[in-house]
């Protein structure tokens, strides 16, 4: 079913997405942790690893180098630093926008010729925080609102492509454990979505029939 690139593929939703797609896709796994990426790749039928920092020009170039046709890219990489606005400095806001927005924009931009050649699919893992902003989540939520604007804009500018924005609630990942710790709460994995559930949503979006364009998917943990 073609070639799909996954960013943030070393762990969490990115690694789960690789597992969900590996049986019938050739994968390009992108991230910063070479050892973790290699471990994910070994569990895949066909995967190559590109270790890169997508906040740098060289990193983006190394990921896109030599790709002339690409069926899909799934943007999973992201960061979440919590803090009230009166406690958050400019560096925190720059980091959120650099990783959560600008890296997605720049990688997508350089991949557009390859995506156009395949009439490909761009899938962006956003967040419930990209729909509703809450106290203490300022920089993260603002970056995710901006990311939603990016996907909406791209969808209008590139009618030959499909662009899907996925907005999960809290997901059982290392990032979520750090968030709950910062909030001073007790971590309960069962209260969160599993990465595999989000990966299944990615898979369903990519598998949509040629006449369908899944523009936005919202997932929330099911109450027990």
Q: Which of 140, 164, 179, 193 is catalytic?
A: 140
| 187 annotated active-site | no
Are 122 and 205 contacting, i.e. CB atoms less than 8 angstroms apart? no
Are 134 and 141 contacting, i.e. CB atoms less than 8 angstroms apart? yes
Question: Alpha-carbon distance 33 to 174, whole Å?
Answer: 15
Are 83 and 139 contacting, i.e. CB atoms less than 8 angstroms apart? yes
Catalytic sites, residue numbers: 140
């Amino acid at each position: 079913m073609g070639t799909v690139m996954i960013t943030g593929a070393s762990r969490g939703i990115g690694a789960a997405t690789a597992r969900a797609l590996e049986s019938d896709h050739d994968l390009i796994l992108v991230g910063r942790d070479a050892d973790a990426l290699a471990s994910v790749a070994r569990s895949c039928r066909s995967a190559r690893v590109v270790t890169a920092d997508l906040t740098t020009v060289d990193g983006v170039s190394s990921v896109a180098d030599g790709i002339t046709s690409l069926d899909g890219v799934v943007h999973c990489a992201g960061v979440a630093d919590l803090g009230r606005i009166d406690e958050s400095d400019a560096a925190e806001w720059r980091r959120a926008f650099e990783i959560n927005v600008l890296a997605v924009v720049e990688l997508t931009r350089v991949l557009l010729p390859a995506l156009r050649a395949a009439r490909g699919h761009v899938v962006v893992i956003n967040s419930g925080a990209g729909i509703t902003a809450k106290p203490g989540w300022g920089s993260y939520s603002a970056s995710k609102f901006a990311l939603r604007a990016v996907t909406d804009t791209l969808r209008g500018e590139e009618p030959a492509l499909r662009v899907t924005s996925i907005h999960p609630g809290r997901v059982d990942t290392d990032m979520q454990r750090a968030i709950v710790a910062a909030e001073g709460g007790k971590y309960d994995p069962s209260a969160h979505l599993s990465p595999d559930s989000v990966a299944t949503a990615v898979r369903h979006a990519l598998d949509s029939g040629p006449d369908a364009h899944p523009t936005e998917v919202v997932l929330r943990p099911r109450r027990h």
